[in-house]
Amino acid sequence: MDFPNISDFPEKISKKKQANGTTLKTSMYGQKSYETQLAVITHFLHNQGLIQNLSTKQAEDYVREYLNHKYPQIEITDDILCEPLNTGFFNDFFQIPFPDPTDYKFTFIDLFAGMGGFRLAMRAQGGKCVFSSEWNTFAQKTYLANFGEMPFGDITKEEIKKYIPTQFDVLCAGFPCQPFSIAGISKKKSLGRETGFRDKTQGTLFFDVADILSRHRPKAFFLENVKNLVSHDKGNTFKIIQATLKELEYSIHYKVMDGKAYVPQHRERIMIVGFDKKRYHEKEKFEFPEATPSIKKIKDILEDNPDDKYTLSDKLWAYLQNYAKKHKEKGNGFGFGLVDLNGISRTLSARYYKDGSEILIPQGTSKNPRRLTPRECARLMGYPDNYIINKVSDVQAYRQCGNSVVVPLITAVSEQIIKTMLTENINE
């Protein structure tokens, strides 16, 4: 059967939208985007028996419509819908680099999933992902290629939240940092009225994390954010986050950790871990992993024969040198970062695709420096070489890596979380 490769789906979706509008019509459930239908189908196929909130009938209807669309010459019988994995139609969703563990120890959900760094980390601990969400269509494409699952879209939408299973063990989220407005809170306090997390965090993406914690009460959560979250908005942002998590009756453990202990990159991020007080009574023996001296060097992640297209043009190299000189004369530290191959790099950013200036690889005196290749960026974030990064353009790959987590660091913290969660006595 000539089944389309899963990594091609988003491009095909885009073409279909241009030709036929933005949605596919279903007979029983109104209109759903092609992406949402594919998310329902892939979550259904990977998690049969685990997704309580996902109507089997709805999933079967989407499977029928999908197969009718792809294979109009084949009669889609009830037998096919009852055992879709036995038909061979969906093999590509399972012929992937990182399948779920068959004998899993716990379940988790992956919010603001990006490239799937949290998923790799939790998978390494024996975890099974039962829900994923990521709004960026290019990141969805990369995620689909590696895990065989299309993440659902905008998690702020109630129609997406309804697909989250009733029960799961761990919530993972690298949520974006946003300021909170405290004006309304101050007014309510002056009137003697209590404020809850819905009042304090409404309108921010952290609200959706808190909302899901409130509704589903997983045993634990693992959040990651930029180092400056602690000082963001004069400390108000983190203060409200802490107060909200405590209001939801979760304990809080947090620490700023540097990825350089795991990869040759200086990348500081805050790790926030919490456990359900109703289960653990704040007696959990959780500790963050101890940082070790960095042993990896930039030269360890470089490809042998990178394409010449990654070498800076004479014009761009001259511009960067002049730009750095101008700011140095003004006493500023702005400029390019020509790395020591025996050292570590600056922090990889999502803007790396523009000129690569923060991390440039020297190529001797007779050749201009070059930017990292997408594969090297993935290695710099700790992704294994069998991770598929080339199903999107270089620009999108750079953006995804710059927005990602350091996988070995997240894995090390995840190990401590799961060790604590599975060994502590639980009072159900």
Tokens of 382: 């700790």
Per-residue model confidence (pLDDT) at position 18: 39
Question: What is the distance between the alpha carbons of residues 234 and 228, in angstroms, rounded to a whole number?
Answer: 10
What's this model's pTM, rounded to 2 decimal places? 0.87
Q: What is the mean pLDDT of each run of 10 residues along the chain (428 residues)?
A: 40 41 38 79 83 68 82 82 78 92 95 97 97 96 96 93 93 81 46 53 82 96 92 86 94 96 95 96 94 87 96 94 79 78 94 92 95 98 98 97 97 97 67
Q: Homologous superfamily of 97-290+408-428 in CATH?
A: Vaccinia Virus protein VP39 (3.40.50.150)
Per-residue model confidence (pLDDT) at position 328: 72
- Neighbour count for residue 165 (Cβ, 10 Å): 17
Per-residue model confidence (pLDDT) at position 241: 92
Q: Does residue 197 contact residue 210 with C-beta atoms inside 8 Å? A: yes
410, exposed or middle or buried, with CB in 10 Å at 0-12, 13-18, 19+?
buried
Question: What is the distance between the alpha carbons of residues 363 and 365, in angstroms, rounded to a whole number?
Answer: 7
Q: Which CATH architecture has domain 298-402?
A: Alpha-Beta Complex (3.90)
Angle 137-147/34-46 helices, nearest 10 degrees?
A: 20
Q: Does residue 176 contact residue 156 with C-beta atoms inside 8 Å? A: no
**Backbone phi, psi, residue 408, to 5°:** -65, -35
The DSSP secondary structure of 287-315, one letter per residue, reads -PPPP------GGGG--SS--GGGBPPHH
Per-residue model confidence (pLDDT) at position 11: 40
The H or E element containing residue 353 is helix 352-355
Q: Where are the domains positioned within the chain?
A: 1-95, 97-290+408-428, 298-402
Per-residue model confidence (pLDDT) at position 4: 41
Residue positions annotated with a catalytic role = 177
Q: Do domains 97-290+408-428 and 298-402 have the same CATH topology?
A: no
